[in-house]
Structure 1
Amino acid sequence: MELREMRAFVAVAEAGALSKAARQLHVSQPALSQTITALERRLGVQLLVRASTGVQATEAGMTLLTEARAVLARHDQALAAMARHTTTGGGVLRVGVPLELPPELVPAALARLAEACPDTRVQARHLSSVAQVAGLRADELDVGLVRERPAGPDLDAALVVEENVGVLLAADVAEKLAGPDGVRLEKLAGLEWFAFARAGSPAWYDELAAILRSHGLDVGADVPEEQRMIVELKIPAVSTGGAYAFAPPAWPYPMPDTVRWLPLTGNPIVRRTWAVWPAASHRRDIAEFVAALEDHQRGGSRV
């Protein structure tokens, strides 16, 4: 087995869906499916049971999942340890990524990084802002992309994305509420906000909740951390007509005819994403990656 095959299998087993794992790995779903099929053929066992609702690891798959996690963890630990001995890059760059980033942002930064530091391999993990900051301070991440700028002198930060957030609504509700330049935020009164758990990004949650309250909207009860919002659930949540959810203009997920995205009149909600890294770091690959993200912000700001 190759390490890339192990990573592909672990991503699919943990995500429970090929489509979700493909997005996390920044590969196409057919290519990922072929990798898993080839791995099963080489090992001579079925690793995953595929169904319309997703995939589930078989008994053999669970065995491989345990072993693969251990191998990958030890491999990444070794690469990270060696990377600390050089300022030029090389080894692994561990990057924390939130959901709903502009689809072109990370691939463009990775392409530039590959040119500047071809020996650096990037390992991306989808984590909340709070989890990313904790990972940076525990030396489990090298760069984080977070929705709130952390305080303290131990971390540096650069603004890399600004997005005018719009709203997802059921098509019939959108038709009733839409004006010539979008939907006025106060028009959402009476609908339920399909929110995310405050524990994942407290400052961003509080900022968003304050904006909603200032427009006369009910924020509702906080979502427990164990019931984190899943992006794929936004569509079914709003399609019934009783709820709304926020999303950026370049929302990278399929949208049925029963749901519409509309801008908010006056752009009252701006979502910001910062690149964050240890202030004491002198690694060239981190500098190149962050610079590429900053260049994207300067060249393609949505605000």
Structure 2
Amino acid sequence: MEIREMRAFVAVVEAGTMSKAARRLHVSQPALSQTITALERRLGVRLLVRTSTGVRTTDAGATLLTEARAVLARHDQLLAALAKHTNTGVLRVGVPLELPPELLPSALARLAEAFPDTRVQARHLSSVAQVTALRADELDVGLVRERPTGPDLDAALVVEEDVGVLLATEVAERLGSPVRLEDLAGLDWFAFPRAGSPAWYDELAAVLRGHGLDVGPEVPEEQRLIVELKIPAVSAGTAYAFAPPEWPYPLPDTVRWVPLAGTPIIRRTWAVWPATSHRRDVAEFVAALEDHQRHRSRA
């Protein structure tokens, strides 16, 4: 039995439903259900009774729950103890979409100079998925769009960006530059799933509503934001999308980036890591990110 399977089973029992557990683990509900079914098949026992209102454990499931919690606690304790004495040699970093293009290269170059034996593994994950992975000891550092709460994670602000808007060229020429948010009325917001970063989504939605804009229906959780889809969505002239001035993707002639009047939207990115971490390479990496932000602020 793998650690991830035990975590999945415990999450389902604690959440009470497959859907809630899937959101907590940031996986699809069918994938989570398949994991539990495969686990039951391999163990040869039924672990959960599924009902219209949720799930409950069988006697075998209750036994597994007790033992799995103990194993996971011991596993996490072991990793925390080892981290106090040594670097693992691998730095697992969570990365969101649309970071400033020079942020990671400069930080990684400084890390390589100070810790040449540290190998970096980067994973593109939403903010919620990164925080979940950090708490499951599947990441060492996350770069997230909303600062997590609780004493188990430390955080440092590493990026602040004045967000602008992507518009079809003919729409941008008609509205002028900078464009006022209220002038976007009648266009659809090309949004991201709220489940991936609820606080950031709610902040954006509040700003839009405050300027009289309709935020539209929430994007389904399973429909992840794909950056490349912003361009065709905006090119049609019926939608807008938010992006920073240093958007690291080429724009065709049919799309233009325009600043917002009064800079009403500021996107922040925090570096987040376990509060119990004593890794010097983590400290160096975070310090490099912070220094990059300070240099950008002075420029």
Unaligned runs of 5+ in 2: 1-77
**Which secondary structure does the structure 2 equivalent of 1:148 belong to?**
coil
Aligned residues: 223
1:150, 1:241 → 2: CA distance?
36
Unaligned runs of 5+ in 1: 1-79
By how many angstroms is 1:82 displaced?
A: 11
Contact residue 164 and residue 302 of structure 1 kept, 8 A: no
Of residues 212, 225, 232, the one that matches 2:228 is: 232
RMSD: 2.0
- CA gap 1:88/1:292 in 2 versus in 1, 3 angstroms: farther
By how many angstroms is 1:84 displaced?
A: 3.2
Task: Calculate percent identity across the aligned residue pairs.
Answer: 81
2:256 alignment partner AA: R
**Which secondary structure does the structure 1 equivalent of 2:222 belong to?**
helix
- CA gap 1:111/1:223 in 2 versus in 1, 3 angstroms: same
1:114 equivalent to 2:112? Answer yes
1:167 alignment partner AA: V
1:264 corresponds to which residue? 260
By how many angstroms is 1:108 displaced?
A: 0.4
2:298, 2:126 → 1: CA distance?
23
Q: How does 1:132-281 map to 2 (within 5 A)?
A: 132-179=130-177, 182-281=178-277
1:102 equivalent to 2:95? Answer no
**Which secondary structure does the structure 2 equivalent of 1:291 belong to?**
helix
Which 4+ residue blocks in structure 1 deviate beyond 2 angstroms? 80-90
By how many angstroms is 1:85 displaced?
A: 4.7
By how many angstroms is 1:178 displaced?
A: 1.1
Provide TM-score, normalisation by structure 1: 0.71
2:259, 2:83 → 1: CA distance?
48
CA deviations on 1:185-237 (whole Å, 9 max, x unpaired) are 11000100000000000000000000000000000000001112210000000
Contact residue 94 and residue 130 of structure 2 kept, 8 A: yes
By how many angstroms is 1:87 displaced?
A: 4.7
Of residues 277, 282, 289, the one that matches 2:278 is: 282
By how many angstroms is 1:90 displaced?
A: 4.9
1:91, 1:84 → 2: CA distance?
12
Provide TM-score, normalisation by structure 2: 0.72
1:17 corresponds to which residue? none
CA deviations on 1:74-94 (whole Å, 9 max, x unpaired) are xxxxxx969935556351000
**Which secondary structure does the structure 2 equivalent of 1:168 belong to?**
strand
